[in-house]
Structures are given as C-alpha cells and as structure tokens.
Chains A and B, each alone.
Chain A
Amino acid sequence: DAKTTQPNSMESNEEEPVHLPCNHSTISGTDYIHWYRQLPSQGPEYVIHGLTSNVNNRMASLAIAEDRKSSTLILHRATLRDAAVYYCISNSGGSNYKLTFGKGTLLTVNP
C-alpha cells in the first residue's frame, strides 16, 4: 500500500470551501484512494473513494491528479459538523483489502 502524506492541521471558516490535500507519490496503478473522517470519541466515517477519475457524492468531491501522485478532498461548504480528523488512505483493494490509517489532518471550522 502506498504511503500518504497530509498536513497535520488545517483551518477553515464556516460555509467556505475546504481543500484537503494528500500526497501518495508511491501509489501503484491498482491502488484506490480512500478518505475517511473521525469525529472525537467516534469511529471513522466513510467520506469518498476513487481510483483514477474525479468522484462526487453528497458529502464531498475527490479530485485526483492526472499522475495519481496526489489528490484533494473538497468540502464545498464547510459546516461546524465537518470539524474532524480527515484520513487519506491508499490501498490495493481486492482480497488484500485493509486500511492502514496515518495521522490525518485535523480540520478546524471557525464559525
């Protein structure tokens, strides 16, 4: 599985867009890019995942660089409830599926 690098923390204002970056320069062609987030004292929550193309869902968008060595999670309008630790994870999927969490990015949302 590819190692990922994220900033330790980021800050945003409520109702503004947030772009959370992730570097995964050693990613292989079959590795997926996953994003999860964790609120305090709770289990992680799935946000989005992708392989090559950009992805959108009701929570966020995932923009994947053309060379796949980096990606950006986009929260279109941050709310106070989006304050959490965001984890970017890359894994090979399939029968060897398991997610190894790094340190993530602590997102603070200011009112």
Chain B
Amino acid sequence: GAVVSQHPSWVICKSGTSVKIECRSLDFQATTMFWYRQFPKQSLMLMATSNEGSKATYEQGVEKDKFLINHASLTLSTLTVTSAHPEDSSFYICSARAGGREKLFFGSGTQLSVL
C-alpha cells in the first residue's frame, strides 16, 4: 500500500524557536496534502490543505503566519511552526491524497514539545 513518511517522530524545542516537520509520499504523487493537529485525548483537527505548487488553504482560527506550509513538489510538504510556544505542543499529523482517489494515507505523526 501507499506509504507516507513523516519526520521527525518527535521533537523537543525551546520556546521561540522554529520547528520544521516533513511529510513525504514515498510511492505515489500526492496532489493534495493535509495537516492535522491532535491534543491529548482529543480528535484530529484539520489545520490546512495544500495543493502542489499553490498556497495552502488554512482552516478558520489557524494562523497562517505561524504555521507555514510549503508543498513544493508532488511528494513533499513541510509544516514549519514558527516562534513555537508551549501551547503549540501537540501531535502533528500529515496526510496525502493521490489524485482522484477517495482515501487518505497518513504519516505516523510528530510529537512536538515546546519547553
């Protein structure tokens, strides 16, 4: 089956620093990628949708200047959490969709802890 690789699996950073999370589709071209955030014991919350070569579409309430998304190729999307603060600590999950297919493939997630 299709594989989505997300890196790193976990990261600890100091408050005020920026963190980049990578999401790669290993064996298919992802026309659309999605970024989710999940707090403990809660469901996934969609943050943004990105299509290759165009600007990401952010969900209401998600700061686009704080969560920078780049989808420069059909196999790579990155999420950069800029000037991270402790309240940004969360489990971040990416997913990818191959064109025309009705299912999503998810990465294994990145646990971000901001001290």
A residues adjacent to B (C-beta < 8 A): 32, 34, 36, 38, 41-46, 49, 87, 93, 97-104
Contact = CB atoms under 8 A, between A and B. Distances in A.
Given A43-B6, A101-B46, 11 more contacts: A32-B102, A41-B109, A42-B108, A43-B93, A43-B106, A44-B93, A44-B106, A87-B43, A93-B102, A97-B32, A101-B45
Nearest to B6: A43
B102 A49 contact: yes
Interface of A: prevailing SS? loop
7 contacts: A32-B102, A42-B108, A42-B109, A43-B93, A44-B104, A93-B102, A104-B43
B97 A45 contact: no
B43 A99 contact: no
A108 B62 CA distance: 33
